[in-house]
Amino acid sequence: MSSELLIVLSLILSAICSGSETVLVSLNRLKFEALQRLGVSGARLVVSFRDSPDRFLATCVVGNAIATVAWSSLVALRLEPYLDATWIAFLSTATILLLGEVFPKSLGRSVADRVAIPTSRMVLALEVMLYPLVWLLRGTGQVALRLTGAKARGERILVTRGDLEHLFVLGEKSGVLERQERTLVARLFRMRHQRVRDVMIPRTEIEAVRVDEPLYAVRKRFEETGFSRLLVYGKDLDDVKGFVHVLDLLREVREWQSAIRPALAVPESARAVQVLRRMQAQKISLAVAVDEYGGTEGLVTLEDLVEQLFGEIRDEFDYDERLVRRLGERTFIVRGRAEISYLNEAFGLDLPTGDYATLSGLLNEVAGRIPQPGDVFRIGRWQLRVLSTERKRVEWVRVEPLAPGQTQDSSPAGSLP
């Protein structure tokens, strides 16, 4: 075998050992543990190396040492007739440092997960070929640890949100997790970053009663809204007194104001999960979101926060007309703040999704402006007519199927008389 071929092979061996060490250190261990449970070929070997890092480290160190010595010796012999020793040392060191260390390590770090399985197989082959030297190096290291009284430090696993989400996807595919369980976890991650302003009922849609209204008027308001709680205010909505529950008014009361319960005041920028904990700890089922000046911006109920985790919670007493009023089998009056995901799931509308969450956001996106009462849109299988707007957003929309012969255009069809 020619010296030139041996020089190239020693450089390749150095690059393989350096890159393999970086790959096996940088890979996502949790991912390969999940792949092992799914029976993916080669994943078990990757996990075994990560469980015993001294195995692959010793193999890579021995292989790299042999490659470096061979490279230096062969290059020196080959270039000795042409260059002096100083230039030979400089060129050989710079070459193996760049091509045998820096480049393989950088490449290995960027593609660790993709090449981990073939890399582990190459390391296993090297371990078998170099077993006596690898065994000697590992044994020497263990003896040194015992003599110094040091203990091998366990590997600390750093888990990111992305790692966990990937594991839950794999868990669902393998049947370990139900789809509902993965959805719950995804909602939990999302809720950790949600603010009260993201889940609250805005000020313009708060149903409330004045503290000086008579009992019959309050009861009538409950009947009209179908809600179980109403906010109670004094001069205006910035002067919140608390809230009243419909059950407290079913029994005989002389003054309904005595049934007013305290409401929790929270900043609209507070994290939703923190507010949920406070409401549970203080046993309060309604919170008022306030701005930096103390003005009321909206309200949020305990049920609203719990629904962020478990989805829409409905019982026989829930009243859907706060968001959707069904006029016929396939005709609806829908609030602009109704979420697209809810409408699609509950009524099968199949409306398109995008960088918006609500029906109002969809119409704003389609129109490229704030729609006006009378604007008509044909989206998918449906005709959407804007009935009213409030504070620069769509309030109510009539949704009905397209008539025979009508086509989808996803643009305003003009104002209706």
Which residues in the chain come in under a pLDDT of 70?
1, 145, 149-192, 250-253, 308-322, 391, 405-417
C-alpha to C-alpha distance for 264 and 284, rounded to whole angstroms: 7
* CA dist., res. 393 & res. 415, Å (int): 17
**HSE of 320, CA atoms in CB hemisphere, 13 A:** 15
Burial of 152 (0-12, 13-18, 19+ CB in 10 A): exposed
Tokens 């820096």, residue located: 102
Q: Which domains does the chain have, with CATH numbers?
A: 3-148 (no CATH), 196-310 (3.10.580.10), 323-415 (3.30.465.10)
Q: What integer pLDDT is reported at residue 254 of this predicted model?
A: 75
Q: Phi and psi of 174, rounded to 5°?
A: -85, -5
What confidence tens digit (pLDDT) does each residue in 78-112 have?
Answer: 888 888 888 888 888 888 888 888 888 888 888 88
- At 70, list the tokens: 């061979």
Q: What pLDDT score was predicted for residue 161?
A: 53
Q: In what order do the strands lie in the sheet with 375-379?
A: 324-328, 331-335, 394-401, 382-389, 375-379, 412-415
**Side-chain half-sphere CA neighbours of 310 within 13 A:** 8
Residues 6+ apart with CB under 8 A from 128: none
Residue for token pair 């000697």: 136
Query: How far is Cα 76 from Cα 244, in angstroms, rounded to an integer?
Result: 91
Q: Would you say how long the chain is, in residues?
A: 417
According to the model, what pLDDT value does residue 29 have? 74
Closest CA to 262 of 243, 277, 247: 243
The number of C-alpha atoms within 13 Å of 2 and in the hemisphere containing its C-beta is: 4
Asked if 187 and 284 count as a contact pair (C-beta separation under 8 A), the reply is no
Show the DSSP H helices in 130-177 as ranges.
131-148, 161-174
User: The pTM is what?
Assistant: 0.41
Buried b (16+ CB within 10 A) or exposed e, 23-48: bbbebbbbbbbbbbeeeeebbbbbbe
pLDDT at 7 (0 to 100): 85
Query: Could you report the per-residue pLDDT of 271-296, keeping only the tens digit for each?
Result: 888 888 888 888 888 999 998 888 99
Element (H, E) at 186: helix 179-191
Q: 405, 401, 396: which is closest to 379 by C-alpha?
A: 401
pLDDT at residue 366 in the model: 92
CB 284 within 8 A of CB 264: yes
Would you say 335 and 322 are in contact if contact means Cβ atoms under 8 Å apart?
yes
Which residue is listed with tokens 């109704």? Answer: 338
DSSP of 346-365: HH------SS--BHHHHHHH
